[in-house]
Amino acid sequence: MTQKMPGIPTKTYALVSQGRVRKADYFYFETRPDNKQPLAIVFGGYEMCQKDFEIRRRTYPYYIIELGLKGLCNLTINNIAHRLTFGTLAGFSPGIPHHYKADAAAPFEHYWLAFVGTEAEDLFTKSSLARLGSINVGKDTISLIEQIIAHSRQKTPYAQQICSSYLRILLLSLPQAPAPPKANQSRATLTYQRCRKYIDENFSSINLPSQVALACDVNIRYMSRLFKLFGSTSPHDYISRLKLNKAANMLLASNLSVGDIAKEVGFEDPYHFSRNFRLFHGLSPHNYRKTHLGTLNSPIGS
């Protein structure tokens, strides 16, 4: 049997699990069960389910994400019910009981991926799927999954690396919904994000973290605690690192002198700038430029 669908190549699909899956197109990678890569896809594919599609598992050895394409399926993950339809992304981790049951009035179609890796747990948790089970996604996320499916089917050169990179982007770009029911925690997250955004947009002109706290109407000590909690660094270090990375780019992309670059990124004292630059990048500004560019574009007095 053949059928042409958007995004699905016309071909004969293998009949699997008679009475459960009507059509399917699967792919497989050679990923070992004891895989030690940061992230690796094991298998996945497309399924058009029958009206009586139902799977109940006590556990599963891989991380799973799946995207609803058409129809409706009720998915219970660890006793919590989710309704999957077009644009719904769902997922669960190894060891979690789950139960799929298609809606007979609207047979379900979906993409799905199984993956593992030393960083899989952390990435899955950051995606918010570990906590929410399912979320509604937009066209960018759908496009990422379509890219993964396409490269995996065709086994393009470096397909595993390409697909794992897309998967990493997908997991890290999923909506980060606030954690219930701790309202104070979600407010803290929003405050941290507001302060960090202000720094990202103004760091070159910021001399002290207290300027950020004042501009964002936040107590300086509270802001420092938030940066330690959510960013694992201090506001001062965060600002300094942005300045020094901007300086590194300017050293390699402009003919400005070291002194001018120091002023551009907010260091009034060029010696203080050079000392901090060396501590962060391992080379003085002059040697950093010389190492990467030689003397071709280095201005006199750099």
For the residues of 37-80, what is the DSSP string, one character each?
SSSEEEEEEEEEE-TT-EEEES--SSEEEEEEEES-EEEEETTE
Residue scoring higher pLDDT (297 or 234): 234
The model's confidence at residue 157, banded by pLDDT at 50, 70 and 90, is: confident
Angle at 249 between CA 243 and CA 253, to 5 degrees: 140
**Final residue belonging to a domain, choices 173, 199, 229:** 173
Q: Are residues 199 and 299 in the same domain?
A: yes
Residue 251, in any domain of the structure: yes
User: Are 83 and 119 spatial neighbours (Cβ–Cβ below 8 Å)?
Assistant: no
Give residue 300's pLDDT: 35
Q: Are residues 185 and 294 in the same domain?
A: yes
Residue 116, in any domain of the structure: yes
Q: Look up residue 101 and give its two tokens.
A: 């049951």
Q: What is the average pLDDT score of the chain?
A: 85
Taking Cα atoms as reference points, which of 197, 225, 195 lies closest to residue 211?
195
Residue 7, in any domain of the structure: no
Residue 90, in any domain of the structure: yes
The model's confidence at residue 185, banded by pLDDT at 50, 70 and 90, is: low
- Integer distance in angstroms from the first to the last C-alpha of the chain? 71
Q: Is the pLDDT of residue 171 over 70?
A: yes
Angle at 121 between CA 188 and CA 119, to 5 degrees: 105
Enter the pTM of the model: 0.66
Give residue 177's pLDDT: 52
Q: Are residues 160 and 186 in the same domain?
A: no
Residue 14, in any domain of the structure: no
Give residue 272's pLDDT: 94
Give residue 186's pLDDT: 74
Amino acid identity at 153: R
Give residue 2's pLDDT: 31
Q: What average pLDDT score do residues 226-250 get? A: 90
Reported as type and span, the H/E element at residue 149 is helix 139-154
Angle at 246 between CA 204 and CA 216, to 5 degrees: 35
User: Are 55 and 100 spatial neighbours (Cβ–Cβ below 8 Å)?
Assistant: yes
Specify the CATH number for the domain of residue 45.
2.60.120.280
Q: Are residues 75 and 164 in the same domain?
A: yes
Q: What average pLDDT score do residues 97-116 get? A: 91
Q: Are residues 212 and 115 in the same domain?
A: no
Q: Collect all residues with Cβ–Cβ distance below 8 Å to 68 and sequence separation of at least 6.
A: 84, 85, 86, 87, 88, 89, 90, 108, 109, 110
Q: Are residues 218 and 281 in the same domain?
A: yes
Q: What average pLDDT score do residues 205-216 get? A: 95
Q: Which domain holds residue 115?
A: 21-173
Q: What domain count does the chain have?
A: 2
Give residue 176's pLDDT: 64
Q: Are residues 111 and 193 in the same domain?
A: no
Q: Are residues 211 and 119 in the same domain?
A: no
The 3-state DSSP composition of the chain as helix, strand, coil percent (nearest 5) reads 45, 20, 35
Q: Are residues 100 and 193 in the same domain?
A: no
**Final residue belonging to a domain, choices 115, 143, 173:** 173
Q: Are residues 126 and 205 in the same domain?
A: no
Q: Are residues 28 and 158 in the same domain?
A: yes
Q: What average pLDDT score do residues 165-183 get? A: 75
Give residue 215's pLDDT: 96
Residue scoring higher pLDDT (218 or 55): 218
Q: What average pLDDT score do residues 249-254 get? A: 86
**Final residue belonging to a domain, choices 111, 138, 173:** 173
pLDDT digits (tens, 9 = 90+) for 3-48: 333 444 433 333 334 347 888 888 999 888 778 899 999 999 999 9
Residues recorded for the chain = 302
Residue 1, in any domain of the structure: no
The model's confidence at residue 184, banded by pLDDT at 50, 70 and 90, is: low
Q: Are residues 166 and 261 in the same domain?
A: no
Residue 284, in any domain of the structure: yes
Residue 45, in any domain of the structure: yes
